[in-house]
């Protein structure tokens, strides 16, 4: 009897957790597991702001898949750009741009998400993202470059635009990004003889009326107070109206001289979702509580790309796109896939959120583990302890801990590597959202495979 072919798309928290569990519980004689991902690492996304600030090296948060797996699962280096659920074929664009058809018996869709943007003039052309490792490394170089150029400039207007920074998005990612980068520039400016610390201005913008509402009013206000004490201007109930190369216009009419806009205002499901010709809810694949896709044999979907019912909350709630849910969904999908192979009933996914940790750099943090509200050093210990324990390998844990200790003892460094120095490196340059096929194109690609069969 032929081995069942299991294809896992995506090497984020959900996909990697699923693969690891399948490897532990299934024999190589029974199944053939493959993983589709452009990179042979799992990105520990929550620590990206610390990479941008130089507290951690990029390698620290890029956890090697070849170290964390049992070396049984081959990695197909590329991205899934279409799925034909009737032919049971996934269309993959390799990193060489070669397009191949990959047949499967069961497929696990965990392609993650992309940066969510809106139809704001100039945003795509001039905004920077914080979703990938390359973007975090680029932003660090870019911010330091603005200090270098401002220090060398004798034009007050140019200097003002280079020393104002705007972060859009008052959620977890935006708040940490603004906090960590503000701390970097605050320490760096001491090394620039021509710059005045008061010239450097950071803005955090969000259309919502509260900062990080998931923390609750008390901790949300505590985080707001920390940011404002550090000189970050937080504007709530405000959004961006227009983005230019040297200025940002806000919806309240203010025009900020600015050459750096970092966009962290939410995420949208991977465009791969649109290639399936399946039902979606707010852009995410509709799935049953057991994470199977209706009317698609052998297809599971989870993580940021799937609208997984949140049975712990009830009603029509769906699970938020967090690492906490993705990890547990990955384990449950693996168990359900095994149950399906063995002819057993599938189980529903139920998990109550355990809380949130927010690292604001230095000794500043707010955390809410198990509903317990913490701030300051205790919150920082909880935040970093959680992230450290969640890292996959001992090598990654050692690198991160060493970086944290070195930063605490020696302080920040302000080295600019020249990464992507001559490239615009804007929002669309790192996520390749134009690579996906339409459902019709997917069927055309898989038709040749069906003809040969």
Average pLDDT value for the chain? 92
Average pLDDT, integer, range 227-239 = 96
Angle at CA 439, nearest 5°, toward 436 and 441?
70
Share of the chain residues as helix, strand and coil, in percent rounded to the nearest 5: 40, 25, 35
CB atoms within 10 A of CB 71: 9
pLDDT at 296 over 80: yes
Would you state the pLDDT for residue 277?
86
What is the distance, to the nearest Å, from the Cα of residue 120 to the centroid of all Cα atoms in its chain?
22
What is d(CA 330, CA 47) in angstroms, rounded to the nearest whole number?
A: 21
pLDDT at 360 over 50: yes
Tens-place pLDDT, residues 247-295: 999 999 999 999 999 999 989 999 999 999 899 999 999 999 999 999 9
Q: Which of 127, 134, 146, 115 has its CA nearest to residue 261?
A: 127
Assign 337 a pLDDT band (cuts: 50, 70, 90): very high
Assign 449 a pLDDT band (cuts: 50, 70, 90): low
Tens-place pLDDT, residues 299-309: 999 999 999 99
Beta-strand relationship, 106-109 and 201-206:
unpaired
Percentage above 70 pLDDT, the chain? 97
Choose between 5 and 217: higher pLDDT: 5
Residues ≥6 apart with Cβ < 8 Å to 197: 186, 189, 190
pLDDT at 453 over 60: no
What is d(CA 206, CA 174) in angstroms, rounded to the nearest whole number?
A: 9
Assign 448 a pLDDT band (cuts: 50, 70, 90): low
Query: CA-CA-CA-CA torsion for 21, 27, 31, 35, nearest 10 degrees?
Result: 40
Would you state the pLDDT for residue 1?
46
Q: H or E segment at 407?
A: helix 394-410
What is the distance, to the nearest Å, from the Cα of residue 435 to the centroid of all Cα atoms in its chain?
19
Q: Which fold has domain 4-115+268-353+433-452?
A: FAD/NAD(P)-binding domain (3.50.50)
Tens-place pLDDT, residues 153-194: 999 999 999 999 999 999 999 999 999 999 999 999 999 989
CB-based contact 4:28 (threshold 8 Å) = no
Give one DSSP letter per residue of 197-234, joined into a string. GGG-EEEEEESSSSSSGGG-HHHHHHHHHHHHHTTEEE
Average pLDDT, integer, range 217-243 = 95
pTM, entire model: 0.93
The DSSP symbol for 293 reads: P
Residues of the chain with CATH 3.50.50.100: 118-265
Q: Which fold has domain 118-265?
A: FAD/NAD(P)-binding domain (3.50.50)
State the chain's maximal CA–CA distance in angstroms.
76
What is d(CA 115, CA 128) in angstroms, rounded to the nearest whole number?
A: 10
pLDDT at 443 over 70: yes
Residues of the chain with CATH 3.50.50.60: 4-115+268-353+433-452
pLDDT at 77 over 70: yes
What is d(CA 60, CA 402) in angstroms, rounded to the nearest whole number?
A: 10
């Amino acid at each position: 009897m032929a081995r069942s072919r299991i294809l896992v798309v995506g090497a984020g928290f959900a996909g990697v957790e699923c693969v690891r569990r399948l490897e532990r519980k299934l024999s190589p004689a029974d199944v053939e597991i493959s993983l589709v991902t452009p990179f042979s690492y799992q990105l520990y996304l929550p620590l990206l702001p610390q990479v941008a600030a130089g507290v951690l090296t990029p390698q620290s948060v890029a956890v090697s898949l070849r170290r964390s797996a049992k070396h049984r699962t081959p990695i197909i280096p590329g991205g899934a750009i279409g799925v034909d659920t009737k032919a049971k074929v996934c269309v993959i664009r390799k990193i060489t741009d070669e397009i191949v058809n990959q047949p499967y018996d069961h497929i696990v869709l965990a392609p993650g998400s992309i940066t969510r943007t809106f139809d704001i003039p100039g945003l795509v052309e001039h905004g920077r993202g914080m979703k990938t490792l390359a973007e975090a490394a680029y932003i660090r170089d870019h911010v330091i470059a603005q200090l270098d150029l401002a220090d060398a400039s004798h034009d007050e207007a140019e200097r003002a635009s280079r020393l104002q920074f705007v972060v859009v998005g008052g959620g977890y990612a935006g708040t940490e990004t603004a906090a960590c980068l503000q701390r970097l520039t605050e320490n760096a400016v001491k090394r620039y003889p021509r710059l005045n610390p008061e010239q450097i201005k950071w803005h955090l913008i969000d259309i919502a009326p509260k900062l990080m509402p998931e923390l609750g009013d008390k901790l949300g206000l505590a985080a707001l107070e920390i940011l404002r004490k550090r000189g970050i201007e937080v504007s709530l109930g405000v959004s961006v109206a227009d983005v230019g190369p040297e200025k940002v216009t806000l919806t309240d009419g203010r025009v900020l001289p600015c050459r750096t806009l970092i966009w962290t205002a939410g995420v949208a499901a991977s465009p791969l979702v649109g290639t399936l010709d399946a039902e979606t809810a707010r852009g995410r694949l509709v799935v049953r509580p057991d994470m199977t896709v209706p009317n698609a044999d052998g297809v599971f979907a989870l993580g940021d790309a799937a609208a997984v019912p949140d049975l712990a909350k009830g009603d029509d709630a769906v699970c938020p796109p967090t690492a906490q849910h993705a990890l547990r969904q990955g384990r449950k999908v693996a168990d359900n896939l095994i149950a399906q192979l063995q002819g057993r009933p599938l189980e529903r996914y139920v998990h109550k959120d355990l809380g949130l940790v927010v690292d604001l750099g230095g000794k500043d943090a707010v955390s809410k583990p198990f509903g317990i509200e913490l701030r300051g050093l205790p919150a920082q210990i909880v935040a970093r302890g959680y992230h450290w324990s969640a890292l996959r390998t001992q090598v990654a844990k050692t690198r991160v801990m060493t970086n944290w200790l070195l930063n605490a003892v020696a302080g920040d460094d302000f080295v600019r590597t020249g990464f992507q120095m001559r490239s615009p490196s804007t929002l669309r340059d790192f996520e390749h959202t134009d690579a996906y096929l339409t459902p019709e194109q997917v069927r055309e690609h898989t038709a040749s495979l069906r003809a040969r069969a």
